[in-house]
Structure 1
Amino acid sequence: MKKMQKGFTLIELMIVVAIIAILAAIAIPAYQDYLIRSQVTEGVTLMDGAKVAVTEFYSNHGTFPSTQVSAGLPVAASISGSYVSGVAITPSTGVITATFSDTGGHKANTAINGDMVSLSPIEIVGGNLKWSCKAGTTAVSPKYLPSTCR
């Protein structure tokens, strides 16, 4: 009389482990990209308040603000988030820049540490502004930018 086998053989277990490893090798980098994109989105969202302030200042004065305070905003370091160390307005051009940092309580991923994303105003007829989102001088990789910035 033959004894019935119970449980899994070693080869079956090795195949399952290999399949899990392959799935993890695909999922972990995709998740890392997702996390970085969400951090960059925070920067773009923090720039929205400055965008409104610069647009209002431009429509009232016909020029860009010379300082953040003249636009009705606090200093750059005061506009920060979990991943963004500050949002600054470039005087006389109106360009708004968010800088990502992993120091001083900020937890930006090392892939974007020190990088910037910018909103640049484009003047159109009638005193209105259109905004162009792009990677800053120390550029965030295009794959991490929100769809509105690509």
Structure 2
Amino acid sequence: MESSMSRRETGFTLIELMIVVAIIGILAAIAIPMYQDYVGRAQAAEGPAFIDGFKSRIAEAMSDSGAAGCALPSAATPSGHYIMDTTFTPGGGASSLTCTIAATYAAGINPKVAGQSITYVYATDSGRWTCSTTMAPEMSPPGC
């Protein structure tokens, strides 16, 4: 006959399980906002990537014929996956390209970048592009 002292019970106690669940909850509370910011920065990065394809064409047209002969190519796609609208504004000494992130959260857009815009301005005298944005600094693409 086996005594009750020699038998070893296995398993986790309720307190051990509750501690594990609490640790997982704390980690999730930290990780979810960080992940959402990461997604927002990735969505915002579509703007500069989208506009980069037009920069060289616009710079060339501005140097060749000035603002009068410079226009956004007619075959250009005015929007991307997260980009709602792209506008080109020719100017005498500077032209600008602006892309606007979609404003609807239903489309999966991070609310920190929804409806915000990124503007690149080309100055003909210096031949340089400058970037500005309406996004919060932690969401803005590098170089803006």
User: Normalization by structure 2: what TM-score?
Assistant: 0.82
Distance 1:94 1:131 in 2: 9
Letter in 1 for 2:67: F
Q: Which residue of 1 aligns with 2:49?
A: 45
Q: Which residue of 2 aligns with 1:119?
A: 120
Change beyond 3 A, Cα 1:30–1:91:
same
Q: Which residue of 2 aligns with 1:21?
A: 25
Task: Tell me how many residue pairs correspond in the alignment.
Answer: 137
For structure 2, the 5+ residue unaligned runs are none
Q: Which residue of 2 aligns with 1:64?
A: 67
Answer yes or no: is the 8 Å Cα contact 2:71–2:88 preserved in 1.
no
SS at match of 1:95: strand
- Tell me the percent identity: 38
User: Normalization by structure 1: what TM-score?
Assistant: 0.79
- Match among 129, 132, 140 for residue 130 of structure 2: 132
Distance 1:124 1:106 in 2: 40
Answer yes or no: is the 8 Å Cα contact 2:112–2:139 preserved in 1.
no
Q: CA RMSD in A?
A: 2.3
Distance 1:84 1:72 in 2: 16
Distance 1:95 1:72 in 2: 10
For structure 1, the 5+ residue unaligned runs are none
SS at match of 1:148: coil
Higher gyration radius (CA): 2
Which consecutive aligned stretches of 4+ in structure 1 deviate over 6 angstroms post-superposition?
none
Letter in 2 for 1:122: A
SS at match of 2:11: coil
Cα distance, 1:102 vs structure 2: 4.3
